[in-house]
Structure 1
Amino acid sequence: MLSALALVVGAAAGVVGAFYRLSLDAADRLRDVLVAWAQGRGLFGLSCSIAVCALAACVAAWMVKRFSPHASGSGIPHVEAVLHGEAPPAPFVLLPVKFFGGVLAIGSGLALGREGPSVQIGAVIGQFVGKISRRNWPDCRALLAAGAGAGLATAFNAPMAGAVFVLEELVQKFEHRTAIAALGASSTAIATAHFLLGDSPEFATSLNYPAPAIGPLFFVFGGLMGFLGVFYNRLLFATLAVYDSFSGPSVEVRAALTGAAVGALAWFAPRLVGGGDGITQAALSGSQDIFILPFVLMLRFGLGSASYATGTPGGLFAPMLALGALAGLFFGVICGLLLPGLDIQPQAFAVVGMTALFTAAVRAPLTGMVLVTEMTGNAVLLLPMLAACFTAMLAPTLLSEAPIYESLRERLLRR
């Protein structure tokens, strides 16, 4: 019975997740049209861009505050808290709040990912199916976890990553019943989502297996990404603390101010706002300008933290992957200049950088490697990924830096 229900949960999560992705794509296109129109109208156009983005972010924050506070941010920390018995499951009203609030927030240009809402929506679907079928808590828990994995699978067209994510990050141990439910849900989620989204990988890459002489560079790069992951986590929590310290303005006002800043940035540089898929693809294609690459990297670091601190629905994965790709491309280009005798593909470091930064921040290397491999449709970099993830784990471990979702869960439970 549990296995059959898991297939139903996966199919439902796949359909809802696919429509969520299509809605986000439509919102991004609408924002691009608005910005293109605004750029031809001087200060009036700039004012319109600022006003629309501010309004969208404000409404998203209001929806969360008014109807479902647990819809704030990624949602993954809350899912983990439920699975660990530290918080009650979210009510079904979270689903529409997460869906439409996420479309408004990410569509406004905030640097947030689609995977957080997809994971929490899938978890709500899993819990709902378990409840209406009158299953006991162990079965409801397994279905909730399976739905969360199906949500991640749909968000990135990565079914294996969805199942691995459930075991490595959400429940953090191998449970046979949960594993069976997660595999079944992820498979039907992708099967249904492919009818609406297609089955091509998220990112186009064309890479050869790196030469053995380059191997040591991946160990070095992984270590650097470990420290970058520590910086990423600390910057995020420092930004959250700053936003929390402003007791005067309401969450809607803070979200509107951030949205206004993003609207202004979109008017000047529309490709630098949003979840970051376009930035990631540009890095994987090697088409980023090396001279502005460090500035784009720093800007996205700040924009991602500020966007998450607004409390609107949106995840961390996609912006984090974009940062890893940018950092990897920059490292690869610098190595190519310093070591001209080696046949270095900077784009290979961009792919590995996605995995390494994810590993450093989340501390889930298997999920990171499987996720990036499925997203790029390229398995030739598995060994370099393994090397980089090894050293990327060292820095945060030696510095006793907690994984980001563990820290966010503790923060959630304290509030």
Structure 2
Amino acid sequence: MPPARSATGSATPRWIVRLVVVTALVGVGAGIGGGLVSLGLHALQHFAFGYSEGDFFEGLLNAPPVNRVVALAVAGVVGAVGWWALRRWGQRSPAHAVVSVEQSVNGRRMPPVVTLLNAGLQVVIVGLGASIGREVAPREVGALWAGWLAERAGLSARERRILVACGAGAGLAAVYNVPFGGAVFAVEILLAEISFATVLPAFAASAIAALVARIWVPANPLYVLPELHLSPTIVVWSVLAGPLIGCAAVGFVRAARFAQAHRPRSWGILIVMPLTFLAVGVAALWLPAILGNGRALGQLAFAAALPVLLILLTTVVKAAATLGTIGAGAAGGTLTPSLAIGAGLGLAGGAAWNLLWPGAELPAFALIAAAAFLAVTMRAPVTGLLLTMEFTGQGPDLLVPVMLCIAGAVAVGYVLERTRVTGVA
């Protein structure tokens, strides 16, 4: 973000003040947006499943099982009608087409009404139990706000690009209370540039957003884990498991890409989405942890709270439910679903490994695999690492095996994706 300069070569104080003010306002707006998304999501969950205390999974277990089917059926109808109308509007009037955060970073303007409706539909379906991530909605709201501010402040195209990315990262930071992860998400994924011009506003915006959102969003980590310890067996497992996790993550990414490419393009969504959501609701009668954005399954895996085989079955069905939701035409993310799937796979793999070489806590395997799986699906090793550590509140004790596993998984993921693109055997 090069500063404007006077004839003497000094930075213009007015330019600096304007940029500082706009960056701060980006953080405040993203924090409010993330807080409202979180409030709306929880309100819908409490309404749909009739609970007032405890977390989403506890509410699912205490509510009548039929609520799972009814809530998903309603979500399928609302989502189908909403996105059919929204996308039809965009087809008839390109100025009202949905613009993604990545497209906005690259210069496209996000239409306010369409963007807010698209984000609102995501909150509604996830609140009613749809199996997809909620993180795209606050990112879109943050990017929309940042783009609007940049235009009103008369910032340059490069300044706008940086602030839109910072707004998206700040939205992520706000809704999950992950200021470091949100800032690095903006720098590593959206901007792919590490410099003072990108890091400073990203840090400031995400920190402010997370601070503002604490009015609504709990400050405690998203997942609760027991105290974990480093051991030789967990280090060796991390090295060996990394490539396998990378293969699984690439398979999930390719399946999600295929599902999105073949989702209904017109009125077909009015049939496919309700039926798909209904099928997920029926499956949830036996496996309730497949519902929602993945936090329920992730917590079960991190705590090893159910038999390992049951968690593994839930993980497989969760992956299928998420892919089906994407293929049905829903908008949303795969961040927390990926984390949950990785945790479930890691728990199962760790349980098998412990039979050969005991000595490590099962939640440690889930944590390490979750970070590696997320890093591959996001194509961002640093962001995957930091988000997992902030989500779980873990310190440096397991940093070495997590980094080793991420390195192996991302390396395999890179090779497999490069082979797919180039066609090299």
- Please indicate the TM-score interval, normalised by the length of the shorter structure: 0.7 to 0.9
2:289–2:314: 8 Å Cα contact kept in structure 1?
no
1:353 matched to 2:369? The reply is yes
One of 398, 411, 415 as aligned partner of 1:394: 411
> 1:6-62: CA deviations, max 9, x gaps?
11111111111111012112222233239766547xxxx787456423323324423
Matches within 5 A, 1:277-288: 277-288=295-306
Matches within 5 A, 1:100-119: 100-119=120-139
**Secondary structure of 1:205's match?**
coil
Matches within 5 A, 1:12-411: 12-33=29-50, 39=65, 48-49=70-71, 51-62=73-84, 64-66=86-88, 78-85=100-107, 88-244=108-264, 249-339=267-357, 342-379=358-395, 380-401=397-418
Q: Aligned partner of 1:216: which letter? A: V
Structure 1: gaps (5+ residues): 405-415
Task: Tell me the CA shift for residue 402 of structure 1.
Answer: 8.6
Distance 1:195 1:47, change over 3 A: closer
What is the aligned-residue identity percentage?
26
Please identify the structure whose Cα radius of gyration is greater.
Answer: 2
1:57–1:259: 8 Å Cα contact kept in structure 2?
no
Distance 1:4 1:115, change over 3 A: same
- Say how many residue pairs are matched: 390
Cα distance in 2 for partners of 1:269, 1:309 equals 21
Cα distance in 2 for partners of 1:312, 1:46 equals 18
2:72–2:278: 8 Å Cα contact kept in structure 1?
yes
1:363–1:403: 8 Å Cα contact kept in structure 2?
no
Cα distance in 2 for partners of 1:8, 1:360 equals 33
> 1:107-161: CA deviations, max 9, x gaps?
2322111111111211111001111222222222121111011011112211011
Cα distance in 2 for partners of 1:257, 1:401 equals 36
Cα distance in 1 for partners of 2:141, 2:276 equals 25
Cα distance in 2 for partners of 1:248, 1:196 equals 38
**Secondary structure of 1:198's match?**
coil
Higher relative contact order, chain-length normalized (CA < 8 Å, sep 6+): 1
Task: Tell me the CA shift for residue 251 of structure 1.
Answer: 2.3
- What's the RMSD between the two structures over aligned residues? 2.7
Task: Tell me the CA shift for residue 331 of structure 1.
Answer: 1.1
Q: Aligned partner of 1:4: which letter? A: V
2:35–2:215: 8 Å Cα contact kept in structure 1?
no
Cα distance in 2 for partners of 1:248, 1:2 equals 43
> 1:195-243: CA deviations, max 9, x gaps?
2223111111123322134311101111111101111112112323443
Structure 2: gaps (5+ residues): 1-17, 52-59
